[in-house]
Amino acid sequence: MIFGKRFIIYMLMKFSTKKMEEKNEWKKTTRQKNRVLHNGEIQLANGRYRYKYINHDGSEAYVYSWRLLAKDSTPTGKKEGPSLRELEAKIQSDLNNGCATFGNKITVLELVEDYVEFKKNTVRKTTQAGYQTVINVLKKDPFGSRRIDSITFVDAKKRLAKLQTEDKRSYSSITSIRGVLKPAFQTAYNDDLIRKNPFDFIITEVVVNDTKKRLPLSPEQEKSFLDFVKGDKYYSKYYDGFYILLKTGLRISEFCGLTLDDIDFENHTINIDKQLMKKARKFYLQKTKTESGTRIIPMLPDVEERFRSLIANRPKLRREPSVDGVTGFLCFDSYGSIAYSLHWEKHFKYATDAYNRSNDLQIESLTPHVCRHTYCTRMAMSGMNPKTLQYLMGHSEVDITLNVYTHVGLEDAKKELERMSRR
């Protein structure tokens, strides 16, 4: 037992002596480098270098590194990183340029949260929901915990590319995420927290736009589909809504937001000044997508007939549903709740599937947006003045309206040339 205690003491002393020898050898090796440290630089007892500097606000700050010069080797087992002199060069550059050193140590997530907080009272609820999605992504991603000053163009491009290749996010989703990151980093740049905005690049340089183009229905497809719905025992109850969407080009949120007061049968017009939205099981109304979206459009006789039918078939409700003090909505589900965009998307999907099962002239899954696109394309191909069509569609810019021409094909070009040759 005594031998055992002596042995343990012997081993502890031997281990301690060895560590002391290693430490002295390390110090000896360091002294042999014969270096002269600059003002603010010191070497700590463990061999790590430290540099002290004064920020713009007068506060003291420190940076550390296991290497003094870039050519030095990092001690075994220690974390790699820039040398002390490299860190000093960055600090001096930031101080000289009036830029906060190390981005004030703000993380990507913190930057985005601050940006969203600043913007929340100036954007719509749907945009706020998009902001929250980006925040949720960053909370789960190590990228969100990185300091903003450490993000380079390469880092930003790699992260967006990874969203598509590994995370399998859609192009539109990635565009939305980058649509928050870019302006958030721009605020950091404007506040002199970073030298450049790492997200200021063309997104298609790194992310493939694999969005499937939504092609409009041909006149033959449109007629065939409407004829099927009108004659179907089950789907005929949606005929009025399908017809109105195909023949007016209304946004689905605008259509769902229409009330009895918006349909003027005396002047044959439709008043569009609001959208019906839903979030967390609660309906709310918001203004049209843009100022140009608020408009009064003509109601042609065929559309007027469908509105009369739609209104005549409104269910008799014990209590008229109200949203933000507004009543008189046109469409309801089987439970008496106001029908909104999701209802109509499902109606279109199921009706399209039923149509394709019994018709040779197939159509891709129809959506309310495809109805709007079909209307816009049809009016454009008819030779309607682009500014008139812009007004009917409620587009803020005529360029948006003119983009429908990207779907013009060979057959369309032939028909147009034939029409012009007959003049």
Name the residues annotated as catalytic: 251, 289, 369, 372, 395, 405
Which residue type, as a one-letter code, is found at position 34? Answer: N
Report DSSP state, residue 69: S
**What six digits make up the tokens of 335?**
């439970």
Residues 23 and 275: their CA atoms lie apart, in Å, by 73
Q: Which long-range contacts (CB under 8 A, 24 or more apart) does 339-343 make?
A: 339/256, 340/253, 340/256, 340/276, 340/277, 340/278, 340/283, 341/252, 341/253, 341/256, 341/276, 341/278, 341/368, 342/278
For 98, what's the count of Cα atoms within 13 Å in the CB-facing half-sphere?
5
Residues 299 and 308: their CA atoms lie apart, in Å, by 12
Q: Looking up tokens 């005529």, which residue turns up?
A: 398
Check if the beta carbon of residue 363 is closer than 8 Å to that of residue 246: no
For residue 320, give the nearest of 306, 338, 294 by alpha carbon. 338
Which residue type, as a one-letter code, is found at position 101? Answer: T
**What six digits make up the tokens of 142?**
């190590």
Question: In sequence order, what are the residues at sequence separation of 6 or more whose Cβ sits closer than 8 angstroms to the Cβ of residue 389?
Answer: 376, 379, 380, 401
**What six digits make up the tokens of 307?**
């509105």
**Is residue 370 within a helix (H) or strand (E), and if so which, with residue range?**
helix 368-381
Residues 149 and 192: their CA atoms lie apart, in Å, by 11
For 104, what's the count of Cα atoms within 13 Å in the CB-facing half-sphere?
14
Handedness of CA 54, 56, 59, 64 (dihedral sign): negative
